[in-house]
Amino acid sequence: MSSLPHPEPISGANYSAAELTLANDAVILLDQRLLPSREEYVLFRDVPALIEAIRSMVVRGAPAIGIAAAYGLVVGARTVSSEAEFQRVAEAIASARPTAVNLRWAIERCIRAVKAAKVTDYAEIIAQEARAIHREDVAACREMGRLGAAYIPDGGTVLTHCNAGALATGGYGTALGVIRGAVEAGKKVRVLADETRPLQQGGRLTAWELAKDGIAVEVIADSSAGWFMARGEIQAAVVGSDRIAANGDVANKIGTYQVAVNARAHNIPFYVAAPWSTVDLSCPSGADIPIEERAASELTQRGDVRVVPTDVGVRNPAFDVTPARLVTAIFCERGVIREVSATGLSQLT
């Protein structure tokens, strides 16, 4: 279906990455693989299909896959017949993708809610918790957006990488939330969106949602960001994150690290916007963050056309790690971390 089939979306917009039906019987996902050509919603009523949707990036972006996972657990809880089966379903959803910590975080939070409630109607308890996760994520995005907006120069151009917007979260967005916050505060902001090879989250998704909001955006090739910085055309970079380690190292979409290196070389602030659910204090440093390797076909194919010789190997890590020393500040709903380090993060615990 081509319009959001939900009367009161928690996203707070007329589109949403993930919602749960009012009857708690299906997860509604906007198929992001089809954007910007088509806005199409799909209903998921079983867990294997939902897991495949997360893997194949029907839904993507760290907070959004956490929310979709929690909603998926509601659907799963309606069908399981034993505690052991419930645990297996929960583990299967939590391991659908490895890098974004929000996925496992959301599932573990739902399991804790079930244990604390000591009731047999798991689905109802999980539905309440999952909706709370969704609501809190939107509120967190708005708050980090409000805090981060103060750091965006009026009249400036902001570079962003991948899509850390409403489509990647419960709604409003993290990095794009900061840009929205700046615009709502009355600042004039232009955005350069890295196209984000190989799956074009910047070119397809960031451009789609900013254009919908009437925010000035232009798409650039990833490889041109350094050149635009050298020409003085970028005043700040803002990105999201899939996992922030205890020492402040930041995992995000592949290509983020080279944005940070370029920003440092050109004396441009490099900001990360993320909810506290993305901070993983059990992960000592970026070296401990699992990095997803995705299919070679994402690089070897353009549609049906093969663009890499058949006898040549391919490396396709989906994320990289930016060391804390390259991050100017982290915007979070708990506050702004100006000293990006274990000490700085521990001040918000």
List active site positions. 242
The reply on whether position 201 binds ligand MRU by CB under 6 A is yes
Give 96's contacts (C-beta < 8 A, 6+ positions apart): 51, 54, 55, 65, 69, 103
Residue closer to ligand MRU, measured from CB, 86 or 137? 137
The reply on whether position 252 binds ligand MRU by CB under 6 A is yes
> Applying CB under 6 A, which of residues 11, 174, 247, 277 lies at the interface with ligand MRU?
174
> Applying CB under 6 A, which of residues 253, 279, 283, 326 lies at the interface with ligand MRU?
253
Tell me the DSSP string of 268-319.
--EEEE--GGGEETTS-SGGGS---B--THHHHEETTEE-S-TTS----BSE
Cis preceding linkage at 63, omega within 30: no
Considering only residues 301 to 340 of the shown chain, the ones binding ligand MRU according to CB under 6 A are: 318
CB of 204 to ligand MRU, least distance (A): 10
CB of 241 to ligand MRU, least distance (A): 6
Residue closer to ligand MRU, measured from CB, 96 or 246? 96
- Asked if 20 and 130 count as a contact pair (C-beta separation under 8 A), the reply is yes
Binding range to ligand MRU, per CB under 6 A, among 108-116, 161-169, 326-334, 341-349: 161-169
The reply on whether position 19 binds ligand MRU by CB under 6 A is no
Binding range to ligand MRU, per CB under 6 A, among 4-12, 23-31, 123-131, 238-246: 238-246
C-alpha span between 186 and 188 (Å, rounded): 7
The number of beta carbons lying within 10 Å of the beta carbon of residue 190 is 16
The reply on whether position 242 binds ligand MRU by CB under 6 A is yes
Considering only residues 35 to 64 of the shown chain, the ones binding ligand MRU according to CB under 6 A are: 60-63
**For residue 301, which phi and psi values (nearest 5 degrees)?**
-115, 140
CB of 78 to ligand MRU, least distance (A): 27
Residue nearest to ligand MRU (CB): 240
Tell me the DSSP string of 216-253.
EEEEE-GGGHHHHHHTT--SEEEE--SEEETTS-EEEE
